[in-house]
């Protein structure tokens, strides 16, 4: 299709071709593997136009409120049972701003399609085909390109972030290392599960909720049945939990065929908020890898048998995000330093650190490099 209007948001022009290539590659691979209900790949011009319009809409306000919404490039015939407008609306910043108050809730998408020449808004939907192009208008000047996972649950896979003149494109290959934690691979869509009770899918929801409360926090995930983590914690514990609280764990253990997806998602949301809320308390929240809550408000110390962590490797899963070797104190405050020390002492554990400013870091042990690695993944959690 041809677009008659040139983009005035230069970042949209710069990234459109890369995003087009991403969707073409993944949709072709999915088709070859026999996947069904696949979306249509947007052309670079379509990507550029949607991003351009959404960016200028994000800077507008309606009755004092910022424009927030999710825009999906989808043919209405692939949108399940959509809400259709009697007449299509033009895709413009003014129209998006006026619509925003009614479509800002999570899970609602503004449907955009084309008539061969121009893009238009046809209505809204809560159902999307696989690998559907989605643009999330998160806050003024902040846009996130993402797509729906193949028959997956929970968070969409992020493709790129645009913030003002800053553009970051996710580098999927950054998760191929044998030392990459499973959580990172799942966030990148490399090893995602279609099972609603998959532990990594649940951990992603906890990470998103931790970041959302904006108070900062640490979540330590330790091996079940192993108490060596206690060597790296000040005793007595301020808020020990006995017996271990199993609200999230009980949901994971349920047979996926015995409950509905809607029931599980609602129940999980409540349990996740219960656990992630505790990470706002000063100190670390500790769970095992079965998602059983062991303690919160815990103070991390260096184990007697260990040495101070002097250097870590930090990466960001974006194109051009080359790894750097730094002292852990250089990437954040005491939370980051103590989390790095904990993983330095407890190689079988991981630490998730949310900063008040929105940054989010996964700390894990690299067996090949024999050091702590920090993955800054806030771009994947937007």
Encode 244-258: b = buried (16+ Cβ within 10 Å), e = exposed: bbbbbbebbeeeeee
Q: Are residues 157 and 203 in the same domain?
A: no
3-state secondary structure of 355: coil
Task: Report the pLDDT value the prediction gives residue 4, as an integer from 0 to 100.
Answer: 46
In a domain, 327, yes or no: yes
Last residue of a domain, one of 169, 200, 221: 169
Q: Are residues 133 and 217 in the same domain?
A: no
Task: Report the pLDDT value the prediction gives residue 221, as an integer from 0 to 100.
Answer: 98
In a domain, 375, yes or no: yes
Task: Report the pLDDT value the prediction gives residue 188, as an integer from 0 to 100.
Answer: 85
C-alpha to C-alpha distance for 278 and 156, rounded to whole angstroms: 25
In a domain, 74, yes or no: yes
Domain housing 42: 10-169
**Residue in 43, 60, 68 with CA at minimum distance from that of residue 119:** 43
CATH number, position 207 = 3.40.1700.10
Q: 127: burial class by Cβ within 10 Å (0-12, 13-18, 19+)?
A: middle
- pLDDT, one tens digit per residue, over 245-265 is 999 888 887 766 666 666 777
Task: Report the pLDDT value the prediction gives residue 2, as an integer from 0 to 100.
Answer: 47
Last residue of a domain, one of 137, 169, 201: 169
In a domain, 103, yes or no: yes
Count how many domains the chain has: 2
Q: Are residues 153 and 206 in the same domain?
A: no
In a domain, 3, yes or no: no
Is residue 152 predicted with pLDDT exceeding 60? no
DSSP 179: T
Task: Report the pLDDT value the prediction gives residue 150, as an integer from 0 to 100.
Answer: 61
C-alpha to C-alpha distance for 75 and 149, rounded to whole angstroms: 18
In a domain, 347, yes or no: yes
In a domain, 176, yes or no: no
In a domain, 2, yes or no: no
Task: Report the pLDDT value the prediction gives residue 5, as an integer from 0 to 100.
Answer: 54
Q: Are residues 74 and 197 in the same domain?
A: no
Q: Per DSSP, what are the bridge partners of residue 109?
A: 125
Q: Are residues 231 and 131 in the same domain?
A: no
Is residue 266 predicted with pLDDT exceeding 60? yes
**Measured on CA atoms in the order 70, 76, 79, 84, is the torsion positive or negative?**
positive
Two structure tokens written together for 196: 């609603």
Q: Are residues 58 and 19 in the same domain?
A: yes
Least-confidence region, from 202-216, 241-255, 332-346 = 241-255
Q: Are residues 159 and 258 in the same domain?
A: no
Q: Are residues 135 and 194 in the same domain?
A: no
Percent of the chain scoring above 70 in pLDDT: 93
Q: Are residues 328 and 223 in the same domain?
A: yes
**Residue in 114, 131, 130, 134 with CA at minimum distance from that of residue 122:** 114
C-alpha to C-alpha distance for 294 and 290, rounded to whole angstroms: 11
- pLDDT, one tens digit per residue, over 116-148 is 889 999 999 999 999 999 999 999 999 999 987
Question: Sorting pLDDT into bands at 50, 70 and 90, what band is 233?
Answer: very high
Last residue of a domain, one of 118, 137, 169: 169
Percent of the chain scoring above 90 in pLDDT: 72
Is residue 157 predicted with pLDDT exceeding 80? yes
Q: Are residues 80 and 152 in the same domain?
A: yes
Is residue 153 predicted with pLDDT exceeding 70? no
C-alpha to C-alpha distance for 187 and 19, rounded to whole angstroms: 18
Q: Are residues 56 and 115 in the same domain?
A: yes
Q: Are residues 313 and 196 in the same domain?
A: yes
Task: Report the pLDDT value the prediction gives residue 255, as an integer from 0 to 100.
Answer: 65
- Residues written for the chain: 382
Task: Report the pLDDT value the prediction gives residue 151, as an integer from 0 to 100.
Answer: 54
The residues, ordered by sequence, that sit 6+ positions from 361 with a Cβ below 8 Å of its Cβ are 331, 332, 336, 339, 352, 353, 355, 374, 375, 376, 377
Residues 98-104: what's their mean pLDDT? Answer: 94
Residue 226: how many CB atoms within 10 A of its CB?
Answer: 13
DSSP 118: -
């Amino acid at each position: 299709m041809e677009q008659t209007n040139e983009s005035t948001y230069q970042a949209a022009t710069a990234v459109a071709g890369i995003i087009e290539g991403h969707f073409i590659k993944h949709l072709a691979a999915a088709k070859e593997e026999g996947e069904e209900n696949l979306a249509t790949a947007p052309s670079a011009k379509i990507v550029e136009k949607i991003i351009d319009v959404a960016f200028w809409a994000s800077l507008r306000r309606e009755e004092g409120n910022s424009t927030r919404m999710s825009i999906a490039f989808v043919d209405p015939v692939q949108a399940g049972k959509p809400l259709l407008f009697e007449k299509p609306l033009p895709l413009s910043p003014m129209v998006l701003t006026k619509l925003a108050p009614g479509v800002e809730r999570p899970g609602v998408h503004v449907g955009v399609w084309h008539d061969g020449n121009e893009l238009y808004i046809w209505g809204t939907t809560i159902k999307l085909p696989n690998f559907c192009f989605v643009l999330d208008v998160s806050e003024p000047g902040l846009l996130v390109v993402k797509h729906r996972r193949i028959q997956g649950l929970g968070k969409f896979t992020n493709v790129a972030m645009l913030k003002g003149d800053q553009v970051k494109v996710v580098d999927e290959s950054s998760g191929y290392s044998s030392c990459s934690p499973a959580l990172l691979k799942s966030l990148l869509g490399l090893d995602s599960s279609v099972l609603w009770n998959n532990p990594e899918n649940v951990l992603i929801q906890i990470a998103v909720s931790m970041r959302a409360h904006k108070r900062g926090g640490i979540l330590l995930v330790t091996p079940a049945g192993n108490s060596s983590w206690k060597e790296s914690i000040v005793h007595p514990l301020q808020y020990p939990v006995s017996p271990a609280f199993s609200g999230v764990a009980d949901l994971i253990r349920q047979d996926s065929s015995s409950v509905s997806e809607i029931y599980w998602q609602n129940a999980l949301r409540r349990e996740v908020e219960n656990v992630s809320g505790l990470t706002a308390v000063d100190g670390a929240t500790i769970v095992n890898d079965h998602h059983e809550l062991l303690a919160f408000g815990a103070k991390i110390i260096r184990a007697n048998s260990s040495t101070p962590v002097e250097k870590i490797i930090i990466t960001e899963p974006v194109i051009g995000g080359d790894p750097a070797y730094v002292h852990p104190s250089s990437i954040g405050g005491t939370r980051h330093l103590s989390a790095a020390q904990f993983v330095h002492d407890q190689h079988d554990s991981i630490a998730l650190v949310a900063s008040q400013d929105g940054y989010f870091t996964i700390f894990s042990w690299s067996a090949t490099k024999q050091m702590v690695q920090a993955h800054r993944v806030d771009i994947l959690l937007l």
